[in-house]
Amino acid sequence: MKKHGHAVLPSAALVPENDPTTLFTGSGMQPLVPYLMGEVHPKGTRLADSQKCFRAEDIDEVGDASHTTFFEMLGNWSLGDYFKKEQIPWIASFYLDEVGLDPERFYVTVFAGDEAAGVPRDEEAALIWQEEFAKRGVSNGIAYMGSAEEAAERGMKEGERIFYYDAKENWWSRAGVPENMPVGEIGGGDSEMFYDFDPSDSLHDPAQYGKHSHPASDNGRFVEVGNSVFVEYIKTEHGFEKLPKQNVDFGGGLERIAAASINSPDVYKVDVLWNVIEQIQELSGKQYEDNKEAFRVITDHIRGAVFMIGDGVPPSNTEQGYFVRRLLRRAVRYADILEISAGELKNLAQSVVKTYAAAYPNLAEKKEDIIDAIEKEETQFRKTLENGLKQFNKLSLQVHVSTKEVDGKKVIDKDSATAKKAISAQNAFDLFTTYGFPIELTEEIAAEKGLVVDTRGFEKLMEEHRAKSRAGAEQKFKGGLADQSDTVVQYHTVTHLMLAALRHFLGDHVHQAGSNITGERLRFDFTHPEKVSREALEEIEVWVNTVLTTGAAVSMETMSKVAAENDPTVEGSFWDRYPDEVKVYTITGSDGTVYSRELCGGPHVAHTDDITGTFTIQKEESSSAGVRRIKAVLVEE
């Protein structure tokens, strides 16, 4: 893409700044959403990158051949520049010529249209693909599949390589299919690319996946290796209309592409992961092929933890840190299953750092911090395990009898195994939440003692727990903003003034250490070694309120991160989480006085006149060693 005039961007951080929708950067397009929505990107209209991503929801899925929590997503974007006739040939050349995938095993899908929405079939994309396959001397038949269910019934015919699917499979918008999109939302059909790992169709199970294989099936034969989204429509009061400027959004999983290049459906055989696999084989004396699940869990979880800690997220019990802790504790457990000596996880982490240091220099820079955090977490968890085992042995047990349903009623299943003692769902849940025992650990120890676990009840309790966690995550996330409502934006802007006042009265050693801002209050952590006196807090209040009363304009400029870091007038924290082009917000009085000039991801008011209420500090307290916390509100007159 660089050869085609694209600016290659560095990866954004795994922890997004000021995005209320998620705790992590989970897709390649996530950091580019503002620009797809119309904001001008400082690097131009042709962009490309390899974005590091983390999907916490996939932790429990890791262990099969394709799931990882951390991954890299290749991406290219056209912001109102080129479109289908450029994108499809370029991406076809990338996969089939440069990566060298076998075109005989390469299949694509395109958008079949949506009659109810008045959006036509994407014949242009299909015809361009047809030309690309013809150039390479392979079949290029086009077929209509409709829904995934219809595709399973119909199957694929000889010579077909390009398939039309409905909106459920081949349409993108943030709201999903066209019928769910609100007025003003943009979207478009996409073209997905699949690699056939099993031409003999040995993986297909008709009972589970329908009568026939097809590209959009989940049977494991076809794996999606890329997707070009053509954002060309906007929903209006009168239906769908073409956008004046149409965008391209491509994403392709780097590990999956690499796996296809070596013709292996197992992503763990890609070199960046296989390096760790080989080290685990040496440490355990066991072979990967005989212990795939354990090897994959350890490899994925160590890599994910290394990248997360490298991005400034250490293991903890809250927010993002909770998932780092969970990764490392699962890795410890599976290391024990493989009989790997205690303390070896840090050595696996060093292997990950060595593999990725050239592409991600921050890992080498923070190597000691990463190794130290992993070593401490393993040591702490082993103590937790010891305490948990003691608790396990104290559990009260229930009689477990298998039942079956007859005429709508549950009855004892006399044909089942003899009744066993069971660990209750609540006990299993308490072991997990209090002692960090994964359910599989509880089940394993129970089996050793001839016990069973009420896993169904445990899952119910876990689902309730996840729902509460999700609700909490919606209210707080890294970057500090609960949402982007008017009151939150007001508080966010006031926080800039408060930090400027803190630095003015306490010294330049003061920097932001964290924040959480809602529509009711701001909470702000800052570096300072001692309690702030009430007198100093009152001076800070007066300073902020004077600016609010006299009025000041808020302006934004985009500049290179290097220039911003080297500008002594720019205050900033968490520099490594920002891209190479950053936004600097300046608050300037009518007399030209600069009150605040700070690195930030937005959003802010345009003028302090838009802020209502009197700034009042409610509390100042210790947050952690060397870090203080302020809670403040805007009090209405």
pTM, entire model: 0.73
- The one-letter code for the residue type at 462 is M
The mean pLDDT of the chain is 89
Q: For residues 166 and 181, what is the distance between their CA atoms, to the nearest angstrom?
A: 16
Q: What is the pLDDT of residue 420?
A: 65
- Topology annotation, domain 2-267: BirA Bifunctional Protein; domain 2 (3.30.930)
DSSP-based helix, strand, coil % in the chain, nearest 5: 40, 25, 35
Q: What is the pLDDT of residue 476?
A: 38
| Closest to 428 (Cα-Cα) out of 466, 455, 448 | 455
384 — pLDDT class (breaks 50, 70, 90): confident
Cross-strand partners of 143: 163
CATH number of 486-635: 3.30.980.10
Residue 474 has pLDDT above 60, yes or no: no
Can you read off the two tokens belonging to residue 544? 């902020």
Query: Any idea which of 169-178, 407-416, 436-445 has the lowest mean pLDDT?
Result: 407-416
Query: Any idea which of 24-38, 46-60, 189-203 has the lowest mean pLDDT?
Result: 24-38
Residue 20 has pLDDT above 70, yes or no: no
Residue 390 has pLDDT above 90, yes or no: no
The number of beta carbons lying within 10 Å of the beta carbon of residue 271 is: 10
pLDDT tens per residue, range 516-548: 888 889 999 999 989 999 999 999 999 999 999
Residue 499 has pLDDT above 70, yes or no: yes
481 — pLDDT class (breaks 50, 70, 90): low
Q: For residues 338 and 332, what is the distance between their CA atoms, to the nearest angstrom?
A: 10
Residues whose CB is less than 8 angstroms from the CB of residue 497 and which lie 6 or more positions away in sequence, other chains included: 543, 544, 547, 548, 587, 595, 596, 608, 615
Query: Any idea which of 133-142, 163-172, 347-356, 442-451 has the lowest mean pLDDT?
Result: 442-451
pLDDT tens per residue, range 78-135: 999 999 999 999 999 999 999 999 999 999 999 999 999 999 999 999 999 999 999 9
Q: For residues 332 and 326, what is the distance between their CA atoms, to the nearest angstrom?
A: 10
The domain locations on the chain are 2-267, 270-392, 398-475, 486-635
409 — pLDDT class (breaks 50, 70, 90): low
Query: Any idea which of 186-190, 503-507, 529-533, 598-602 has the lowest mean pLDDT?
Result: 598-602
| Closest to 313 (Cα-Cα) out of 305, 325, 323, 321 | 321
Q: What percent of the chain has pLDDT over 90?
A: 62
Query: Any idea which of 19-23, 109-113, 476-480 has the lowest mean pLDDT?
Result: 476-480
Quick one: average pLDDT of 48-71?
A: 90
Cross-strand partners of 554: 587
Torsion of CA 336, 338, 341, 347, to 10 degrees: -110
| Closest to 108 (Cα-Cα) out of 86, 131, 78, 81 | 131
- Phi-psi region for residue 576, left (φ > 0), alpha (ψ -120 to 50) or beta? alpha
Q: What is the pLDDT of residue 188?
A: 95
382 — pLDDT class (breaks 50, 70, 90): confident
Can you read off the two tokens belonging to residue 425? 């769902």
| Closest to 598 (Cα-Cα) out of 536, 518, 526 | 526
Q: For residues 601 and 455, what is the distance between their CA atoms, to the nearest angstrom?
A: 43
What is the 3-class SS of 568-618, one letter each residue?
A: CCCECCCHHHCCCEEEEEEEEECCCCEEEEEECCCCCCCEHHHCCCEEEEE
pLDDT tens per residue, range 213-252: 999 998 889 999 999 999 999 999 999 999 988 999 999 9
